[in-house]
Structure formats: C-alpha cells, structure tokens
Structure 1
Amino acid sequence: MKKFFNTLSNIWKIDDLRVRIINTLLFLLIYRIGSFIAIPGVDANAIDSQKTREGILGLLNMFAGGSFSRSSIFALGVMPYISASIVMQLLGIAVPYFQKLQKEGESGRNKINQWTRYLTILITALQAIGYVKSQIPAEAKLFAEPLFTISSIFVLTAGTLFVMWLGEKITDKGIGNGISLIIMVGIIAQLPFGIFSEFTSRISGNGGPIAFLIEIVALVAVVMFTILIVQGTRKIAVQYAKRIVGNKQYGGVRQYIPLKVTAAGVMPIIFAQALMFIPATVASFFPNAASNGFLMAVSDYTSFTHNLIFAILIILFTYFYTAITVNPNQMADDMKKNQGFIPGVKPGATTSEYIDAVISRITLPGSIFLAIVAIIPAIASKLGVNSQFSRFFGGTSLIILVGVVLDTLQQIESHLLMRHYDGLMKTGRIKGRTAIPVAAGTTPPAI
C-alpha cells in the first residue's frame, strides 16, 4: 500500500503528467455530461430504453456509454469515426492513390485524415437517418416532420464530430489515446448497472450470494486470460552488423522483433460480428424468413450454431487481417537496409519466408484464443448470468477495456521512468497493447 501511495505522489509531482491527467478527466467529464443531454425535440420519458439492451443495439449502446438508449446528442458516439478509419485503412491497402498518400509523409497523412473526417460525416448522417426512423417513436417526437428528422440529423452528426474532437484533444493534451478512452469510459459506465442487476437477481433467490461471488471470480480469471492474450509476443532475435564511424562503434548488438500473438487485435471480432448481424437484419425485413429454423438459430447469439459460425469467422478474419497488416517482405527489407539479419537465416527472401512462417504458426493459437474470448459471453448467458453483466465476460468490450488500460498505464509509466522515478510495478514493465487500427497518420484507438 505504501508503494501505491508513493507512486501516486510521484505522479502528482510531475507537472506535465499531472496537467495531462487532469485534462483527460475534464474532457471525459464533458463527454459523460453530454451523453445525458437528449436530442432537441425528443421526450426522453417516452423512449423505451429496454429494446436497446439486446443484440447489436445493446452492443452499440455499450460503446456509446448508454447514449444510444437515451437518445442523447452523442447517441452515435465515435463508432462512425471508427468505421470511417477502418474503411480508409482498407482503401490504403487496395487503392493505389491512398497507398501513395501513405508514403508521402506528413502531407499525405494530413490528406488521409481529412478524407477520414469527410467520410465520418457521411457515415454519421446515414446512421442518423436510420437512428431517427427506427429508434425514436412517434410519441417521443415533439416537432413535426420533416423538421424533426432534419434537425436531429444535424444534431447527431455534430455530436459525433464533437466527440471525435474531444478524442483528438485528449490525445494531444491528455494521457492515453483519446478515442480509446472515450470508448472505454462508455463501456465502464455500463458495468455498475450490470453488476447491480446481477447482484439483485442472485440475492432475490436465483443462486444466492455464493453464486454471485463465483461469477466475480470467474470474471477476474477471464480478465487475466485476456491480458495474457493481449500481451503475448513471439520474439525473433535480430543481429546487427558492427560498424565503425570515426571513433564510435554502431551496431553489433542483438535486438528482437516482437511479433504479437494477436497482431490483428480486436478487428476480427468486429468484422465477424458485423457479418453475424446480417441474418437478424434479414429476418427483421422479411417476416416469413424469420420462421426459418436455421436463420433463427444464427440470429440467436446464445445458440450453438451462432457461436460455431462466429468462432470460425473470427479465426478466418484473424488470418486475413494479420496478412494485410503485417508485411514480412517490408520487415525483411528494412533489416537488410540496416545491415541486420536473423541468426542462421539468409537476408532477403529467406528472411521474409521465415518471418511469414513464424507469423502463421502463432496466428493459429491467437485466433483460437480470440474466438474463445468472443463466445464466453454467450456461455455465461447460458449459465444464467444476466445479459447486461455477461457482456463483460469477453468479446469486444473486454478486449478493448484490457487494451486501453494497459496502454494508458504504459504511458504513465513512461513519464515516471523519464523523470527517474520507479515504475508502476516493482518488477517488470507494462507493455502496450494491440490497438484498433485507424487511418494512416492518426493514433490508433482501441473498439
């Protein structure tokens, strides 16, 4: 305990770190206050928040910190920005024009950032139309149409852009990655309600306090398992040739290339979830198709069929996303240019093949671990855990929480070590995490 208070004292003594932490807390407070401000012209009392607690709507509501169910001005959160960033990253892989921009340095990154913002506005406007039409009932609208729809689209779009601006300000003037922290705060905001709901359910006779304690222990175990997955790396030794420049010696040391077991991060789960929501969407548009047994099984997130397909998609997307984000040829070329080599492996094409083989071997267990984490919430629901609480047993939300916390703690520790203070731990160092990639030139957030 004394070590903990000494660390807090050291953090407070560093002026720059203290200001950054205070700025971060103030920006996050602004975001949380805004999440309770309803869209102008909406009667908040007439909104049924219960229908946004399940399925894709429940997931979106979690990422938005409850704003989605409250019809807040921040109802769409930062998800349109994340979607636009992912699209821009994929365009950077497939379209030569954007590939060229990525190689133009600062000017290219600025252009990609600008394209990302324009795309964010377009995506937000389209999602705002769908949100107003489907999530706000007629009895909750205080304005006549089409004035209400038009004004709400402008308000929701402005709200998302403001949240995006808050995230950028946190990154510049705060600690950690702003977009990641905003998503994390939205997820954590739902945790007390989930715990209270589960505690009330258990105490009222459904298992008693012992069952609740067992669930808490299980949650801690799942969090520890997720940390191991996020932190897991395979180090490849690299030897650099010795060079003498004047009176100084350069190189001649052995370093390591850390290849993460889950290099794709949370993206495979996001892509797989997007595909798994298609059957439910089809069923909502075609009532006759909803009676199809297979379609109903795929739409039920607790069914064996749904989770089997979900796990297979995660494994496939993990290989796909790792293949497009990790380039063994470029790594081999960079080593060759810097006169580095892997002991026992020839430089050039042989090195590229060796790195590719290592990545292929570690991606399989990484993808299986991601699939297990993704289906744990469904298993928890089958075992009787409340749906609001079961989401924290795995899936996208837990990986984001673990990743963002590790990344923020790693930045705080870096500030401490630069000022010659002890780190946050007695032994070892906190390592960063795999973030959700965004458009080139921006700091990657974690969704």
Structure 2
Amino acid sequence: MFSTLRNIFKVPDLRRRVLFTLAMLAVFRIGSYIPVPNVNARLFDPTQNAFLGILNTFSGGALQNFSIFAMSITPYITASIIVQLLAMDVIPKFAEWSKEGEHGRRKLAQVTRYLTVVLGLIQAVGFALSFDRMIPGLIIDKGFATIAMIAITLTAGTAFLMWLGEQITEKGIGNGISLIIFAGIIARVAPGINQIYNAWFYTHPERLFLNLVYVALLLVGILIVIVGVIYVQQGVRRIPVQYAKRMVGPRMYGGQTTHIPLKVNAAGVIPVIFATSLLIFPSTVASWFQPKPWANWIVANLGPRSWMYVLLEVLLIIGFTYFYTAVQINPQQLADQMRKNSGYIPGVRPGKPTEQFITRVMNRITLAGALFLAAVSVLPYLFSNVTTLNLYFGGTSLLIVVSVALETMKQLESQLLQRHYKGFIR
C-alpha cells in the first residue's frame, strides 16, 4: 500500500489531482467553523434533535457551529432527485435533454444548480425562523434584514459547496459531492468516540468490563458491516456473450467469448443519500410551524427512531436503487448493440428475448443489493434504541464512507494502471 501511495505522487497529473482534492476538502473543513453573522451558536445543540443530528453528521459539524456551510449539500441532493425524476418523461424537454448525451446533461446540470439555490433559500429561511423560535436568543438583533442576511449567507454557502464539488469532480479525483459528504462524516468520528466514552466509561466507571465488552461488540459489528459493504459493492454477475464469426472482405472477424458485468449494487451509495435527504425535508419544513398539532405529528412520527421513518427509508432505498440502476443500465440498448455486432447470449435468442433476460437478471441482483443497503441503513436506529445514545455515525454513515473510499480507490487504480504502475488491488 505504501509503495502504491508513493507511485501516486510520482505521476505529476495524478499528484496534482490528489493535492487539489485535499486542498478543496481543507477549504470545506475551514468553512465549517466560520459562523453565520448575528447568530449565538453556543446556544445551539443539534444533537438533541434526531433529524438535526443526521444533518450535523453530513455537514461535518457545520450545523452545530451554525457556520456558512450549516445546510451542507442537502439542497443540491434534493434538487438532483427532483430533476432526475422529472427527466423520466414527466417533463418532455427534460427527457429530451437526458437523451442528448453530454450537451443535454449540461443543460440538466444547469437546471439543478438553479433549483438548488431556490431550495437552499427556502430551507435557509426556515432554518433561521424555526431555530430562533425554538431557541430564544439564538439570533442577535433579529429583524427582516438580519433574517435575510442569514438566509443569503447559508444559501451562498450551499452554492459554494456545490461549486466546490464540481471542481473536485472536474479537476480532482472521484465524485466531488460524495467526497464532501465523506469528509463531513469522517470529521464526526472523533466526537462520536468521545460521546461513547462519556456515556459508557466516564459516567459509569464501575462497569469497566461490561463497557469493554460493548466496545468489542461494536467494533466487531463495524468490521462485519465494512466487509459486507465491500463484498456487495464488488459483487458482479457476469452474463456470457458469444460473438459469431463473420467475413469482412478477405478477413474473418468475431468468434470470441466475453461477458457483460452487471454489478449487484450498480447504484452505489446514491440511493441511501437520496432517501435520507428526502426524509429529512418534510420534518424540517414541519419544524417551522411547531407547535401546531399537524407539525408536531410529522416531527414525532417521522423521527429517525420511529417505525414509520424506518419503514419509509427502507422502501425509498429499494425504490431509488431500482431507479438509479435503470438510469445507468439500459437492457434494450445492450441487446441492440449485441445484435448489431452479431453477439448473443448462449441459449437466449437475440433481440427482445435478450433484453428480457438481461432485465430479469438485473432486477434479481438489484433486489439483493437494495435489501443489503436498506438493512445496513437501519442499523444505527437499532443501535440508538438499544444504547439510548444519540450517535448518528452508524450504518448509513459507514456505508457512505466505505463506498466512497472504494470508488476513490478505483479512480486512483485506473489512473495508475494507465501509467503502468501497480495499484491497490493485487
């Protein structure tokens, strides 16, 4: 591993990309400590609220500091969900752009940026008004100008993070948005360890042996989840493809055997991020209108510890896994390409039967990947109910961290192999 890390810095272009990514993540972490003007952040403790605790984890503690990055990248994720859903033949123009290749994707990305600013401004105003009502004295010298300045500052912070993520994607390594979330979650590991120490060892020093057993079980559970995530993320179902021999002039082409690699979890960690962001939104909006009865009902019944929240998250993760897999893999296109190149799956007729076969296999393996994602995401809520700890670094966070780390490793691997260096995977 150390020789591989040395190889990374031997390649000038790759070294520049790695250093650029680290510099951008450092900017994100520095911004997490720059407070919003006219806010007394010392009065604010998001860990007492389940939804705010999740937001605080994704923002890397920026919400707890009420910094310029307090909303993190969640408005962008929500905007991406809305635009992708609208592009599924809901708005014909969006559907047309989605089929135009790189040019169409740029147009959809521009719409996503504008929608991010609109959603960010709405969420920022809600944050300022609801938090001031819940915590008297949080906003200093409150008035229209102060609320407007706080909302604009928070929205600008989200827009800057969106730009930062795009720069990492273009000039750095991997998916910039995922790396920002990854950095935020990693930053909350140390506070999580401190919380466990205070709750188990500092408060109950007489239960030292029992506390050590709890820690050992927790570490074993984390290890099992990490191994499971790696196993599922690397899992591939290979569909064999045979190409017929054909004469082109005096030469004969084809005749070779290859395969179509269908990943068990082709959607990666995107469904978990989408589901979590979508479930946070209604409770956040309802908190603006508390203590009205309907708002109290939504906050109480859609809290992360409620059975309704867990059920909705499981269903959303499964749904988004199928949705995002369908966006990435088109069985009809695969079948048409094989038919045009005289390829076929042994035992399956070309054309429509091939498309149906690929769809059937894809649906079956996607179900396994979706159920695994849902099971891992439920773990932190079970852990919180058993231990009564408000610890939000759990299954979802661990899943995101491991998945993003694997994806980043693959990016570095491909760059190294192109230059004839050995990578991480032997």
1:17-36 CA-partner distances (Å, limit 9, x unpaired)? 11111111111111110110
CA deviation map 1:268-304 (0-9, x unaligned): 4455543587589769746556898xx8984453455
Residue number in structure 2 paired with 1:432: none
1:119-268 aligned at under 5 Å gives the runs 119-136=115-132, 137-204=135-202, 205=204, 207-243=210-246, 245=248, 250-268=253-271
Q: Partner residue of 1:406?
A: 406
Measure, in 2, the Cα distance between the counterparts of 1:297 and 1:157. 28
Residue by residue, what CA displacement relative to the aligned partner does 1:5-28 show, whole Å, maximum 9, x if unpaired? 322222221111111111111111
Cα distance, 1:372 vs structure 2: 1.3
SS at match of 1:104: coil
Quote how far apart the aligned CAs of 1:103 are.
2.5
Out of 376, 379, 384, the position equivalent to 2:379 is: 376
Check whether the contact 2:286–2:296 (CA below 8 A) recurs between aligned residues.
no
Query: Following TM superposition, by how much is the alpha carbon of 1:384 offset from its aligned partner in structure 2, in angstroms?
Result: 1.5
Match in the other structure for 2:54? 59
1:150, distance to aligned residue in structure 2 (A): 1.2
Q: Which residue of 1 aligns with 2:65?
A: 70
TM-score, normalised via structure 1 length:
0.84
Q: Do 1:68 and 1:75's aligned partners in 2 also have CA atoms closer than 8 Å?
A: yes
What is the aligned partner in structure 2 of residue 335 from structure 1? 338
Amino acid at match of 1:211: Y
Pair 1:80–1:239, CA change in 2 (3 A): same
- Residues 176 and 327 (structure 1 numbering): CA distance in 2 closer, same or farther, change over 3 Å? closer
Residue in 2 that maps onto 1:32: 29
Q: 1:343 to 1:403 in 2, by over 3 A?
A: same
Contact kept? 1:92, 1:99, Cα under 8 Å: yes
1:60-89 superposed Cα distances (whole Å, 9 cap, x missing partner):
111111112221111111111122122221
Name the CA shift for 1:156/1:286 in 2 (closer, same or farther; >3 Å).
Answer: closer
How many Å separate the matches in 1 of 2:181 and 2:273?
A: 14
State the identity as a percent: 44
Change (3 A) 1:416 1:63: same
User: Do residues 87 (structure 1) and 82 (structure 2) align?
Assistant: yes
Do the aligned residues in 2 keep the contact of 1:41 with 1:148 (CA within 8 Å)?
A: yes
Which residue matches 1:21? 18
* 1:425 maps onto 2:421 in alignment: no
Q: For 2:175 and 2:318, locate their aligned partners in 1 and report how far apart those are by CA, in whole Å.
A: 28
Q: Distance in 2 between matches of 1:405 and 1:326?
A: 23
Q: State whether residues 128 and 156 of structure 1, in contact with CA within 8 Å, keep that contact through their aligned partners in structure 2.
A: yes
Seen in structure 2, the aligned counterparts of structure 1 residues 418 and 309 have a Cα distance that, compared at 3 Å, is closer
Q: How many residues align?
A: 416
* Separation (CA, whole Å) in 1 of partners of 2:143 and 2:284: 29
- Contact 2:41/2:64 (<8 A) preserved: no
Aligned equivalents of 2:299 and 2:66: distance in 1? 29
- Which is further off, 239-248 or 215-224? 239-248
SS in 1 for 2:72: coil
Match of 1:445 in 2: none
**SS of 2:35's equivalent?**
coil
Instruction: Pick closer, same or farther for the CA change 1:298–1:262 going to 2, 3 Å.
Output: farther
Distance 2:313 2:377 in 1: 8
| C-alpha distance after superposition, 1:346-380 (max 9, x if no partner) | 11111111112112322332232222112111222
Q: Shift of residue 90 of structure 1?
A: 1.3
Task: Flag the 1:244–1:368 CA change in 2: closer, same or farther, 3 A.
Answer: same
Matched ranges for 1:287-366 at <5 A: 288=293, 298-299=301-302, 301-302=304-305, 307-308=310-311, 310-319=313-322, 322-323=325-326, 326-366=329-369
SS in structure 2 of the partner of residue 386 of structure 1? coil
Quick one: which amino acid aligns to residue 113 of structure 2?
Answer: R
CA distance in 2, matches of 1:138, 1:211: 39
Structure 1: runs of 5 or more not aligned: 427-447
The whole-number CA distance in structure 1 between the counterparts of 2:141 and 2:284 is 31
Change (3 A) 1:374 1:336: same
Contact 2:20–2:171 (8 Å) recurs in 1: yes
Q: 1:355 is matched by which residue type in structure 2?
A: I
Distance across 2 between alignment mates of 1:307 and 1:154: 33
- Deviation sequence 1:237-293 (CA, Å, 0-9, x none): 12233455567765432222222223344454455543587589769746556898x
Structure 2 residue aligned with 1:444: none
Inter-partner Cα distance in structure 1 for 2:72 and 2:35: 13
- Structure 2 spans left out of the alignment, 5+ residues: none
Q: 1:416 aligns to what? A: 416
Q: Deviations over 1:214-250 (max 9, x none)?
A: 2112211111112222222211112233455567765
Residues 276-287 of structure 1: pairs in structure 2 closer than 5 A:
278=282, 285=290
